[in-house]
């Protein structure tokens, strides 16, 4: 079984519409650190490797003509990216202080854990989930 060999999620790939805006969001708001940044002139594309404090990486891509992905109503595919936090109220307040709109904190009816949603500059749903 494959699960016997998996140790953690290595990275999540995100394609953004505005590279500078998304880069600033994931670095200045989320707090990711830059691992590597590359520009491929032949494809006119950027790839920015970012890292969260636990070592999980986010690959941020930008392609000049990437089509929009429908989100509402919810489309098939990746639904959202959830970030585990130790203090959801403090994390939510930190986002709000940076001008990020956040939904109210709710309780997961299955786990009884607190969570809330917010969005990146391309309206990708992101979740804070209190561990």
Query: Measured at the alpha carbon of residue 35, what is the angle toward residues 32 and 40, in degrees to the nearest 5?
Result: 115
Question: Is residue 59's pLDDT more than 90?
Answer: yes
Question: Is residue 128's pLDDT more than 80?
Answer: yes
* The model scores a pTM over 0.75: yes
Question: What domains can be seen in the chain, in order of their start residue?
Answer: 8-65 (3.10.180.10), 78-130 (3.10.180.10)
Question: Is residue 79's pLDDT more than 90?
Answer: no
**Token pair listed for 37:** 């940044």
Residue with tokens 């140790």: 7
Rg (CA), the chain: 16
**What confidence tier does 3 reach under pLDDT thresholds 50, 70, 90?**
confident
**Token pair listed for 84:** 């585990």
């Amino acid at each position: 079984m494959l699960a016997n060999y998996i140790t953690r999620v290595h990275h999540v790939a995100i394609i953004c519409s505005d590279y500078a805006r998304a880069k600033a969001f994931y670095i200045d708001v989320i707090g990711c650190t830059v691992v590597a940044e590359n520009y491929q002139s032949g494809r006119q594309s950027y790839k920015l490797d970012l890292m969260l404090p636990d070592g999980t990486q986010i690959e941020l891509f930008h392609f000049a003509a990437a089509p929009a992905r429908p989100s509402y109503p919810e489309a098939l595919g990746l639904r959202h990216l959830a970030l585990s936090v130790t203090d959801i109220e403090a994390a939510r307040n930190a986002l709000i202080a940076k001008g990020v709109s956040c939904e109210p904190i709710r309780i997961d009816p299955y786990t009884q854990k607190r969570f809330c949603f917010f969005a990146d500059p391309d309206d990708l749903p992101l979740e804070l989930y209190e561990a």
